[in-house]
Amino acid sequence: MSFEKLGIIKPLLDAVYELGYEHPTVIQKRAIPLVLSKSDIFATAQTGTGKTAAFALPILQKLRNTPSDANRLISAVILSPTRELSIQIHEDIQNYAKYMDIDTAILVGGKDIESQQRTLKKGVDIVIATPGRFTEHMEKGLKVSNISIFVVDEADRMLDMGFSKEIRKIHLQLPKKHQTLLFSATYSDKVRKLSKQILTKPAFIETAKKNTTVESINQIAYLVDASKKAQLLAYLIGSRNYPQVLVFTRTKASADELVEELKKDGLKCGVIHGDKTQANRLKTLNQFKDGKIRVLVATDIASRGLDIEELPYVINYELPSIPEDYVHRVGRTGRAGREGEAISLLDIYEKYEIKDIEKLIGLKIQKDVVEGFEPDPNIRRKDVEERKLKNEHKKEPNKKVRQYNKNTSNFTKSKKKRKTTKRD
Ligand code: AMP
């Protein structure tokens, strides 16, 4: 199957071939004809499967004849959960539209809203936006009455981030006749509920088994004490000569702490999390892409949308609090069919938490230890100890309760109250 066979027009073909895309990926093969035939779509596709081109190419093709005057209203909107992912989609679309006369705009928070309004005034065909900023623009008068294509990308993530109200609000304002394309890495109940609200007779595309991780990724977990994790991480990177690694932590604080530790080992590190400004995140990401940074430490939300070519290693320094995020994290490696390796470092608690992830992906992750970093068998889980104590407490014989008797000014043993029944 080729891009020509999918009916893709010449200017788009030239652009994708220039990018080195030889054949369409599975999601592209299935989604492109459906989008061109105006069908609503509900696709479960993981990051790295080529889903951006799966919706962007047919959208560009459909909009090829829109007049380019300044008074035109926007024709398509693509909602994405984060600024980084929006920027990535925007970049991809600009690359695909290189030989076409299509104007795009990116509307994300953290940027001056007035300058975004000025861009819109010049006439724009496709908008890529985060839900919050797009609703802000709508409240300030952005007209959505000409939108014929509505894309909700990484829907599961947007719902986790609490954007359900905004998505439905935007959807309600769209003209009756429009096409909605919903993409989600996972198939949660929340996503299914949203799909029922915003899709009309959708075609279903399932490119991988529910919540499975990309097949070409080799997944392994090392058991290690929490106090030795940073040391082990530095050891793995150094001894295995990893050229570049993306490391995930659960919180901003542990991301910062880890970076300090790794720097002591002489590793060039960068950190991306919610407290960093947009400009700072982009700078760090670019330094990582250029190879100036060897270890990029990121939290889950900030990592969304990072598109780094040929990233071979992803390390879960801490497991995510939501099992679905594991799928997103490891989706950063093994992109577009390339080999990748995802390593998780498990402390005594995470050894149990990983079971939820294994249940979700339907796969048992191999566990191992690294010589010199074996967990100390004397370290026990605090929660197990606490539970034991509680049970012991429960087992204690009931002490007889003594009550104060007002009449005798004495304490007396309480008599068990007789249960009353209806007959009493
Ligand atoms: P996505 O899932 O859209 O984030 O795409 C993942 C990566 O695969 C991006 O770097 C794309 O540029 C790349 N890609 C998308 N489609 C193809 C294709 N047909 N052939 C090769 N690479 C592709």
Quote the ligand 1 centre to 245 CA distance (angstroms). 20
Q: For ligand 1, which residues put their CB under 6 angstroms from it? A: 21, 24-25, 28, 47-53, 307, 309, 335-336
The fraction of the chain above a pLDDT of 70, given in percent, is: 84
Ligand 1 mutation target, pool 3, 13, 18, 21, most atoms within 8 A of CB:
21
Quote the ligand 1 centre to 336 CA distance (angstroms). 6
Domains observed in the chain? 10-206 (3.40.50.300), 217-368 (3.40.50.300)
Residue 325 — very low, low, confident or very high, per pLDDT cuts 50/70/90? confident
pLDDT for residue 348 is more than 70: yes
Ligand 1 atom, smallest distance to 22 CA? 20
pLDDT digits (tens, 9 = 90+) for 53-88: 999 999 999 999 988 888 899 999 999 998 888 999
Ligand 1 atom, smallest distance to 20 CA? 21
pLDDT digits (tens, 9 = 90+) for 16-49: 999 998 889 889 999 999 999 999 999 988 777 8
Q: In terms of DSSP bridges, do strands 76-79 and 126-129 run parallel, antiparallel, or are they unpaired?
A: parallel
Ligand 1 atom, smallest distance to 19 CA? 12
Quote the ligand 1 centre to 49 CA distance (angstroms). 6
CA angle 148, 101, 110 (to 5 degrees): 70
Quote the ligand 1 centre to 296 CA distance (angstroms). 21
Quote the ligand 1 centre to 354 CA distance (angstroms). 29
Cβ-based burial of 145 (10 A; exposed 0-12, middle 13-18, buried ≥19): exposed
Higher pLDDT, 364 or 226: 226
What is the CB neighbour count within 10 angstroms for residue 339? 11
Ligand 1 atom, smallest distance to 46 CA? 2
Residue 302 — very low, low, confident or very high, per pLDDT cuts 50/70/90? low
pLDDT for residue 338 is more than 90: no
pLDDT digits (tens, 9 = 90+) for 363-416: 788 999 999 999 988 877 776 656 556 555 554 444 444 444 444 444 444 444
Cα–Cα distance for residue pair 169/151, rounded to 1 Å: 14
- The residue whose C-alpha atom lies closest to atom 4 belonging to ligand 1 is 48
Quote the ligand 1 centre to 50 CA distance (angstroms). 4
Average pLDDT of the residues of the chain: 85
Cβ contact 277:251 at 8 Å? no
Q: What is the pLDDT of residue 33?
A: 95
Nearest to 308 by CA among 274, 272, 343: 272
Ligand 1 mutation target, pool 1, 85, 183, 307, most atoms within 8 A of CB:
307
pLDDT for residue 209 is more than 90: no
SS3 state of residue 221: strand
Ligand 1 atom, smallest distance to 309 CA? 10
Torsional sign, CA 153, 158, 159, 163: negative
Cβ contact 244:250 at 8 Å? no
pLDDT for residue 304 is more than 70: no
Count of all residues that appear for the chain in the document: 424
Ligand 1 atom, smallest distance to 24 CA? 19
